[in-house]
Structure 1
Amino acid sequence: MKKPYTPRGLPPKNIEWADHIPLIAQANAALARYDGILETMVNPGLLLSPLTTQEAVLSSRIEGTQATLEEVLEFEADPVRKIEPSKHADIQEIINYRTAINRAVDLLKKRPICLNLILELHGILMDSVRGANKSRGQFRKIQNWIGPPGCSIEDASFIPPSPDALPAALDAWEKYIHSEEKDRLAQLAVVKAQFELIHPFLDGNGRIGRMLIPLFLFEKKILSAPMFYLSDYLERNRAQYYQALNSISEHEDWNGWIRFFLTALAEQAMENTKKARAVLKLYEKMKREVPAITRSQYAVQAIDTLFYRPIFSTTDFITDSKIPKFTAFRILSELEGKGILNVLREGRGRKASILVFNELIEITEHIG
């Protein structure tokens, strides 16, 4: 049987800094280009809201959920509609992920990344979902292990540190986040990996670890907004992702992990830039077309509401946009008539229609 992993001191002693310079430069340049797009957005939180939800979808998919972006947004537009219990559970996990990262953004305005912040995020992430009974919002007090579903500790592929070793490991990890390092991106690679190796929770470690990425980039002022979506790359390269992490625990191969992580940052920053540019281009297009179609003083409110929630009920549109009811219905009818909006489900009786802004969904899921 494997022994529990013993975290080494931070920073790792064997980082080959000179070898990483080309990738560090590439990742920093790609992130700077992406941040340039963020800085041109008046409200990136609103415009990139669907991308934040898609990040929640993909990060949760790495852990086994199957729900899609459309299914999540459609559920939020009509939460009383009956769906399979397993699908409902998947969707709730995704919504919790998005709620946690939005909460983290608020918390970072008052305090830096710290263990108490991590505990609060975990409490939100695991609220009323599978694993909610596994010490939600608390660091574990028992041994956990990783392996095939249902395996015993004897057959585990990885055994995290023992509960007695957690306090010291987490304290060192927290201190390292706020230490000065030769490069912030390599430091983030170490922060992310060490958290997952410590595995301080009984469930939700991977999702919290991935959440740390945009929060760190924002706190260290590498990005002007905490909006970076790495789960797409990690989900597509899942086998390499886990292999690189395992190589740290088995061979202390921090350099292999840092290479993988810097490559992920650089490539995903380029993909995120394409998506953000496409969203911004669509927003500018809507700012020309919607006022011309509707001739309404509420055109900008309508556009912002569509970008915030691209699948919605007519009732939610009225509430979110704060546009008077009859004017809102007229705007929606005119946008549907011009093909900007499509009906997903017709309303019946008191049940509101569900509409979709397909062009934004297409960018969110397929551009890049």
Structure 2
Amino acid sequence: MPPCNPDNLPLADLDWRSLLPLAGRGNAALARYDGMLQTLPNPAVLLSPITVNEAVLSSRIEGTQATLDEVLEFDAGMESADVRRGDIEEISNYRAAVQGAEDALVDRPLSLGLIRAAHQRLMQGVRGRDKEPGAFRTDQNWIGRHGDPIERARFVPPSPLVLQGALENWERFLQAEGEDPILQTAIAHAQFEILHPFKDGNGRIGRMLIPLLLYRRGALSRPMFYMSEYLEANRAEYYDRLLAITDTGDWEGWLRFFVNALIAQAESNLEKVRAIRDLYEAMRRDFVEVTHSQYAMAAVDAFFMRPVIPAPAFAQAAGFNNRVTANNMLRQLNDAGLIARVREGGGRVAAIYALPQLINITEGRRVL
């Protein structure tokens, strides 16, 4: 199979008029979600579990098996099975790469340099660290079953001889202002996956780009819209639609898939954000009623930032002057059923507590 020849951007041969009604529905769904986002008193705190779950799901598409519970427990210092440790490290890197890219967008455009920096952080010290993190490939890669030669590849990305020019064309498209934001994001994501510019980690970087580009184009007030839940649940169609672009030139089929995915994800995210907001407000009332403490509000924030948290980290995050007072509050909250103790403390082993309602909402197990 020869390397594919990527289309030049912007695309010239699409029936844009037929896509605009769907794009309009996508923009309306995204606006409803973003409107809810703007009502949150502290989005970074309230949506912290959702950002962790995005890292879990985006990494799962690439073969990791770790769950949200396992990642949160690992962050809290609970031992994980050795087989999961590598997965959790990859997920942690994804979170760090996303945060670094979001911070960089404050004073930098969405560029090839920013993408390379995100990739370098993504691959640091994990599987793929020997595949030139932060550098675009200079040799041919291909996608297929493990061990298959290029002749049996399912997809062969562009030759390295044309890759740099295609990336520069892609970067110019990223920075264009005339396209519909959602259609532009859909095309940019697909083209990145087609170019497959890194030796590893392309899928995760490509999905990371989705909220960054929507934010840069003003479709989001914060880069906090994640689609991996839908894409992971519909993985086969996701890959098939991407392959159809290079196999048959079916950009329209991809765009319709992507926008419908965005609409479905926006509706799901809206319900989750609403449920998280309602839980936050309820917990603020309940923590005060149970503890009558000046630290009650900060205690709620501590659990929303880290839904599974060791007692010492809770004390520090909530601003307690001493651990005894913090531990007394944790006991009160646990006895009232507002939080759950997931590990007993003793000696040098810290007790660990969780906010199960928040984890359930994040994973979609139960929306209040």
TM-score, L = length of structure 1: 0.97
2:173 paired with 1:165: no
Q: Aligned partners of 1:43 and 1:55: how far apart in 2?
A: 19
User: 1:319 offset after TM fit, Å?
Assistant: 2.2
Q: What amino acid is aligned across from residue 35 of structure 1 in structure 2?
A: D
User: 1:347 offset after TM fit, Å?
Assistant: 1.4
Structure 1 partner of 2:53: 54
Structure 2 partner of 1:351: 349
Unaligned runs of 5+ in 1: none
Q: Aligned partners of 2:211 and 2:180: how far apart in 1?
A: 16
1:235-314 counterparts in 2 under 5 A?
A: 235-314=232-311
Structure 1 partner of 2:336: 338
Which moves more between the two structures, 14-23 or 132-141? Answer: 14-23
1:101-112 counterparts in 2 under 5 A?
A: 101-112=98-109
2:225 paired with 1:222: no
Q: What amino acid is aligned across from residue 351 of structure 2 in structure 1?
A: S
Q: Aligned partners of 1:85 and 1:333: how far apart in 2?
A: 32
Q: Aligned partners of 1:12 and 1:85: how far apart in 2?
A: 47
1:357-368 counterparts in 2 under 5 A?
A: 357-366=355-364, 367=366
User: 1:328 offset after TM fit, Å?
Assistant: 1.1
CA contact (8 A) 1:14 1:254 kept: no
Structure 2 partner of 1:12: 11
User: 1:221 offset after TM fit, Å?
Assistant: 1.1
SS at match of 1:312: strand
Q: Call closer, same or farther: CA 1:242–1:217 in 2, change over 3 Å.
A: same
2:187 paired with 1:186: no
Q: What amino acid is aligned across from residue 71 of structure 1 in structure 2?
A: E
1:266-316, Cα deviation, whole Å (9 max, x unpaired): 110000000000000001111111111111111111010000000011111
Which moves more between the two structures, 231-240 or 343-352? Answer: 343-352
User: 1:320 offset after TM fit, Å?
Assistant: 2.1
Structure 2 partner of 1:68: 67
Q: Aligned partners of 2:82 and 2:161: how far apart in 1?
A: 38
Structure 1 partner of 2:316: 319
Q: Aligned partners of 2:177 and 2:117: how far apart in 1?
A: 26
Which moves more between the two structures, 192-201 or 218-227? Answer: 218-227
1:76-95 counterparts in 2 under 5 A?
A: 76-78=75-77, 81=79, 83-95=80-92
User: 1:181 offset after TM fit, Å?
Assistant: 3.1
CA contact (8 A) 2:177 2:217 kept: no
Structure 1 partner of 2:31: 32
Q: Aligned partners of 2:330 and 2:290: how far apart in 1?
A: 11
SS at match of 2:197: coil
Which moves more between the two structures, 215-224 or 267-276? Answer: 215-224
Q: Aligned partners of 2:214 and 2:296: how far apart in 1?
A: 34
Cα RMSD after superposing both structures: 1.1
Q: Aligned partners of 2:347 and 2:324: how far apart in 1?
A: 17
CA contact (8 A) 2:295 2:319 kept: no
User: 1:327 offset after TM fit, Å?
Assistant: 1.9
CA contact (8 A) 1:230 1:265 kept: yes
User: 1:85 offset after TM fit, Å?
Assistant: 3.0
Structure 1 partner of 2:42: 43
Q: Aligned partners of 1:132 and 1:86: how far apart in 2?
A: 18
Task: State how many pairs are aligned.
Answer: 365
SS at match of 2:93: helix
Q: Aligned partners of 1:84 and 1:356: how far apart in 2?
A: 20
Q: Aligned partners of 1:281 and 1:176: how far apart in 2?
A: 40
TM-score, L = length of structure 2: 0.97
Q: Aligned partners of 2:315 and 2:159: how far apart in 1?
A: 53
SS at match of 2:342: strand
Which moves more between the two structures, 26-35 or 322-331? Answer: 322-331
CA contact (8 A) 1:27 1:266 kept: yes
User: 1:149 offset after TM fit, Å?
Assistant: 1.4
Q: Aligned partners of 2:283 and 2:82: how far apart in 1?
A: 38
Q: What amino acid is aligned across from residue 331 of structure 2 in structure 1?
A: S
Q: Aligned partners of 1:62 and 1:326: how far apart in 2?
A: 44
CA contact (8 A) 1:142 1:163 kept: yes
Q: What amino acid is aligned across from residue 150 of structure 2 in structure 1?
A: I
Q: Aligned partners of 1:43 and 1:102: how far apart in 2?
A: 16
Structure 1 partner of 2:141: 144
User: 1:317 offset after TM fit, Å?
Assistant: 0.9
Unaligned runs of 5+ in 2: none
